[in-house]
Amino acid sequence: MSQSLLSTPRMDEVLGLSPGGFHRLAYVEWGDPTAPVTICMHGLTRNGRDFDRLAAALAASGRRVVCPDMVGRGLSDRLADPAHYGYPQYLADMTALIARLDTGPIDWVGTSMGGLIGLLLAAQPQTPIRRMVLNDVGPFVPKAALERIATYIGQAPSFRDGAEVEAYLRRIHAPFGPLADEDWRHLVRHAARPRSDGLLELHYDPGIGQAFTEGPLADIDLWQAWDRISCPVLALRGTLSDLFLAETAAEMVRRGPRTEIREIAGVGHAPMLMAPDQIALVSDWLADVKPAQPS
């Protein structure tokens, strides 16, 4: 396969199953289809195209990189019943994707929600995950961070044009840090879709926010799952993050799997892994750290 084809993203899909029936899971794939696999999973309201730059870099280093749109986001189907959005469904869908890829051990890169999905998968017996990068998330998520997310998740704003979408994203996602204008334009390109009335809407199902509004929020505590993980972990933390606290990072080093912490200055929740230095943190670690044998 030519180098140009290896560096070009390829679109594909796999079927997932919820209590409401089958749904399509879209994903973008980069690199040599026969190479070792890295799965990059996005955050709560995001989609797989957040990883375009990281995926291109990892593919250039000889990896097959797969970036899904979780159900209800991006080009994947939306669920008929929003009550089914949650980690049991997400874990089942990722299991279907891993089976579809027909691969051996995998590396996992997960931002926020995507990191928690990886954490829960890595904690399972006979997990295929051999190394894991957690981007600004750990086994403890404070209620205060969830309450901040609840101020915008589940809303359905409309926009007249891309400029309005960009202004919204810059406000809601200011914790992403000092992104370049071209970075914001890339996010805008994949963050909205046209409606029948000609306006634009965000490219995710507002129903994914139902869990944030149907009852009181509480801390997320996954320390028991963390203690069952055996693969090496790199945890990236924005120094201004309200979701991945410094004390959580310190506790992750003291217990559970072998973990390295790298902090990214001037960034909150979550680093976008678009800048060269952030990409290097991930690619260099994956190149240098010996993977664990799947348990």
Contact 110, 41 (CB under 8 A): yes
CATH of domain 3-139+222-288: 3.40.50.1820
In a 10 Å sphere around its CB, with 0-12 CB exposed, 13-18 middle and 19+ buried, how is residue 160 labelled? exposed
pLDDT in tens, 71-95: 999 999 999 999 999 999 999 999 9
Count CA atoms closer than 13 A to 52's CA, side-chain side.
15
Q: Is the pLDDT of residue 215 over 80?
A: no
Instruction: Please give the torsion angle defined by the CA atoms of residues 223, 25, 235 and 212, in that order, rounded to the nearest 10 degrees.
Output: -50
* High-pLDDT (> 70) share of the chain, %: 97
Which helix (DSSP H) or strand (DSSP E) does residue 116 occupy? helix 113-122
CA separation for the pair 112, 269 (Å, rounded): 8
Q: Is there a contact between 234 and 138 (Cβ–Cβ < 8 Å)?
A: no
State the pLDDT at residue 128. Answer: 97
Taking residues 249-257, what's their average pLDDT? 98
- Measured torsion, CA atoms of residues 104, 132, 30, 294, in degrees rounded to the nearest 10: 0
For residue 225 the two structure tokens come to 């799952």
Structure tokens at 160: 């007249």
pTM of the model: 0.95
- The dihedrals phi and psi of 266, each to the nearest 5 degrees, come to 75, 15
Q: 223-240: per-residue pLDDT in tens? A: 999 999 999 999 999 999
Domain ranges of the chain: 3-139+222-288
Q: Place 154 in a pLDDT band, splitting at 50, 70 and 90.
A: confident
pLDDT recorded at residue 111: 98
* Confidence grade of residue 213 (pLDDT, cut at 50, 70, 90): confident
Q: Is 193 helix (H, G, I), strand (E, B) or coil?
A: strand
Closest CA to 227 of 261, 263, 254: 254
Rounded CA-CA distance 132/155 in Å is 32
